Each structure stands twice: as structure tokens, then as C-alpha cells.
Amino acid sequence: MTRDSTDPRSQMRIEYMGSISGLGMYSAATREGLEARLLDAREQILDKAARILREEPAREQAAVDEALAQGNDLLINSKSDGSRRVVHRVTCPSVVGRLDRHATWTAMVEEYRQWVQSSEDPEFRVAVMIADHGQSPVPVELSTKDKVQRSGRPRRKCRSCAPDVDELAARSTRDDPKQIMARSLNERHVGGRVTRDGTDLGEVVGVGIAVVTADGVHVLSHDEKIAVTYPNS
């Protein structure tokens, strides 16, 4: 199956194979069969993208409207990894546009179109981006002053809209005690403090071994003599 690499159909095929899993198993397929499957796959992706555009903005808009109706009047803007959280009022000009999910999606799709305008099959390339993503890349996290204050997550507030919340600096990792496996706790930790998932469990007054049996949880001290059998012995 040789094809001129300038043939646009060859280019299209490479794009399809990058986007659709399962097409690697085509070696036995005839060229016609393969092309039919590729065209079929193209249709499926166009359909999927159309469905996402039909449903997702409306679904997101309903969620935003409900959150606003419930009194969430702050918008938290964070990087995609959840770090660098900045709190805005929902009326802040720098974020208010995001509350309109239809406009946000329209702008996003327009941006996709700009990126791919010179490609062989822009319509399909845009559909792939939408279908791969499946949800808005500009999500909206709405909250209230109460929830923000209670969360304990580091945040700063927007300098421009200055919402009424306290800022919380990220703790330097140098201030955090070293993380160890619980089984490594020993008598030398007595008098120190133990923290799990950021929650202070208190001062260590003793260290033992918790054994879970069918009768319950038993705490044994490290220097206790016990007898134990292996299963089936």
C-alpha cells in the first residue's frame, strides 16, 4: 500500500491514527476497508465533538447558575495543578466573563480554529481537540467566604476586586516535618507531635503496634512478648 506522501488522504490517515486507538490492528484490512474505517472514525469524532458542544456548555451553565443562586459569590482562579489560588468576587472584570459558559466555549473553539486553520482538515482537527478534552479547559470554581476561610488551602486575593477573605500563605516545605512511614515511629518520637494529612493528631506519649484481629484492634507496646502463629500452621 504505497501512497504519495503529498496526497492529503495520507496526511489525514496519520492524524486519524494519532487520535483513535484500536486502528493499529489494521494490517489485514484491505485499503478500501481501512479507508472506510477511517472515514467512519472521522464521523464518530465529529459526532462526539458536536454532542459535547451541544451538551457541555449548557450543563456547565446550569451548574454555575445554581452555585450563584446558592450564594457562592467568590470565584477561585487556580493553575491547572490547583496551585496559586487567587480569590475574586464573581463580579470582578477579570473573571466575570467565565460565568457565561456558552461564551467561554465559543471563545475556546474559536481559539482552536485559529491554531489549526492551516491544517489539511481544520474541521476534523478542531473536533479532535474538543473530543479529546471533553470538558471545558477553563473551569469555574465558585465558593463562599465561609468555605474559603475554612478550607485551609493557601490563597491570595485579587488586588483589583479585593474580596473580603483572609489570605493564607503557602507554608514553606522547610517548615514541614519530614514524612515517614507510620511503622517507623519509635520511642524517640515521644514528646514530638504527629500530623496526618495536615491534621495534628497531638503529642506522642507512646508508640506501639496496632494489631487488627477478628476481635478488634489491639495496641501492643514494642517491647511486649507475644506468641503468634502463621496462617495454616
Residues that bind Zn ion (CB under 5 A): 88, 92, 158, 160-161
In whole angstroms, the minimum distance from the beta carbon of 89 to Zn ion comes to: 6
Residue 110 or 164: the one with the smaller Cβ distance to Zn ion is: 164
Smallest distance, Zn ion to C-beta of residue 135, A: 24
| Residue closer to Zn ion (CB basis): 92 or 148 | 92
Closer Cβ to Zn ion, 83 or 160, answer by number: 160
Residue (76 or 92) nearer to Zn ion, CB? 92
Residues 6+ apart with CB under 8 A from 96: 90
User: What's the closest the beta carbon of residue 145 comes to Zn ion, in angstroms?
Assistant: 14
Amino acid at site 95 = V
Least Cβ distance, residue 74 to Zn ion (angstroms): 10
Give the residue with the Cβ less far from Zn ion, 49 or 76: 76
Q: How far is the CB of 119 from Zn ion (least distance, A)?
A: 37
Distance (Å, rounded) from C-alpha 125 to C-alpha 207?
60
Angle at 101 between CA 99 and CA 102, to 5 degrees: 135
